[in-house]
Structure 1
Amino acid sequence: MAGHSKFKNIMHRKGRQDAVRSKLFSRLSKEITVAAKMGDPDPDKNPRLRLAVQNAKGQSMPKDNIQRAIAKATGGDAANYDEIRYEGYGPAGTAIIVEVLTDNKNRSAANVRSYFTKYGGSLGETGSVSFMFDRVGEIVYKLESGDADSLMEAGIEAGADDVETDEDNHTITCAFEDLSEVSKALEASLGEAESVKTIWKPQNLIEVNEEKAGTIMKLMDAFEDDDDVQNVYSNFDISEEVLAKLG
């Protein structure tokens, strides 16, 4: 499981659901606005917007919020956002990729650098760690969507590369360029997904001890609380025993 996914689970266990959901809706709205502004405001004619809207629906974002985010782009009052990817190393030599949507590049760069430095990491050059990840499409369904075998069959028929089922979700991955097509096929057979997005999937995971895990969680928390940060990916792995202590 990708490091940031485990971090999300820990945050929910700590009872931060409301705060997490507010942040999530804010990020989903920003992605919808940016996608609508960059292309056609009609999701059927704009693949990026379609995925953003589908993702928002999967996260139970109210329809009015989605429409407001699109209207904000077409109304001409939306800020101009830059998409930037930062790469660096965290505690225990873990690799971290941070994606931001920002209207102030200097602010974002300073903030991201400060988080790395504060928690024993270092910000690197673009490309310094991304070679350790694969850029793939990820489609997540809730467990009630079906059993592992039925999801595996649906994934194969849709053209996915892999299907994994854990205690929380069914996670389907596919080639980056096939995401739109695979998600449409799955939606036809399984309904709307909980999330549909492109991710950086680590090729290998680094297991960290309790001390380093605690510091990594603080670093992830800092990224999570930054309004400019859209996504964070890492290759850390934390055992269930250590997770229980952190939780």
Structure 2
Amino acid sequence: MAGHSKWANIQHRKGRQDAARSKLFSKLAKEITVAAKMGDPDPDKNPRLRLAVKEARSNSVPKDVIDRAIKKSQGGDAESYDEIRYEGYGPNGVAIIVEAMTDNRNRTASNVRSTFSKNGGNLGETGSVGFMFDRKGEIIYPASVGDADTVMMAAIEAGAEDVESDDDVHVIYCADTDLAEVSNALDAALGESESTKLIWKPNISTELDLENAQKLMRLLEVLEDDDDVQRVTSNFTASDEVMEALANG
């Protein structure tokens, strides 16, 4: 499995015990509010909202927080957020996509640009790195759900495109427009997933040594700590030894 996928899964598992859970809850709640405001407040009638609620539940967001986020979308004083994508480069030319939701474009753009420049990166123009990624649906199951062949067969029958399995997780990919349908089929076949969301999947990777990987992690962590930033994706890959050093760092 490529370095970026391994790192995402390490973060996914560590995040459950992370002191920053409240920040994660806030970002997931924001996505729920935006999805509900843009469409129907009923998850059964709004695919984006249904996926947002499912992802929140998989991260142990309490039901009352989810309900409040949906209710907030229907209030006359509900905040209006713009969805913005920033693209740039990190150490050694690693491509980075930053997805943000903001009520102040100038503030967010200034913060993101400053974070890149202070941490060895450069914010680029829209489209500068986007061609290095494909928009995909990603569904994650723990390895305990079944062996690789079992999960592969279930994924194929559900309409997925690919599966990457290791000792810890099965990561299933599908077309972005098929995520809700594939997710529902896999829920029926394998049970509730650990994570279901839209991602930017790298189609070109940049390999990093430990020093540059550590620099990149610092940049990504500062970006992710920004309240306006919903998700950060990079196209780095690294050897197993570097990944182990990062995981234990």
TM-score scaled to structure 2, two decimals?
A: 0.92
Return the offset for 1:112: 0.6
Return the offset for 1:8: 6.2
The aligned length equals 246
Return the offset for 1:143: 2.2
Q: 1:53 to 1:16 in 2, by over 3 A?
A: closer
Match of 2:54? 54
CA distance in 2 between counterparts of 1:62 and 1:167 reads 29
Deviation readout 1:25-79 (Å, 9 max, x if unpaired): 1111010000001111000111110111111122222211111111111123321
Whether 1:115 aligns to 2:111 is no
Secondary structure of the structure 1 residue equivalent to 2:184: helix
CA contact (8 A) 1:4 1:232 kept: no
TM-score scaled to structure 1, two decimals?
A: 0.93
CA contact (8 A) 2:116 2:123 kept: yes
Secondary structure of the structure 1 residue equivalent to 2:18: helix
Q: How many percent of aligned residue pairs carry the same amino acid?
A: 63
CA contact (8 A) 1:2 1:201 kept: no
Runs of 4+ in 1 over 4 A off after TM superposition: 10-13
Match of 2:199? 199
Q: 1:5 to 1:114 in 2, by over 3 A?
A: farther
CA distance in 1 between counterparts of 2:182 and 2:139 reads 9
- Give me the CA root mean square deviation: 1.9
CA distance in 2 between counterparts of 1:67 and 1:76 reads 17
Match of 1:3? 4
Return the offset for 1:150: 1.4
Match of 1:64? 64
CA distance in 2 between counterparts of 1:145 and 1:67 reads 29
Match of 2:42? 42
Structure 2 gaps of 5+ residues are none
CA contact (8 A) 1:7 1:217 kept: no
Match of 2:106? 106
CA distance in 2 between counterparts of 1:11 and 1:40 reads 29
One-letter amino acid of the counterpart of residue 89, structure 1: Y
Structure 1 gaps of 5+ residues are none
Return the offset for 1:157: 0.4
Listed as ranges, the matches of 1:124-163 within 5 Å are 124-163=124-163
CA distance in 1 between counterparts of 2:6 and 2:230 reads 14
Whether 1:27 aligns to 2:31 is no
One-letter amino acid of the counterpart of residue 98, structure 1: V
One-letter amino acid of the counterpart of residue 85, structure 2: R
CA distance in 2 between counterparts of 1:5 and 1:115 reads 24
Listed as ranges, the matches of 1:219-230 within 5 Å are 219-230=219-230
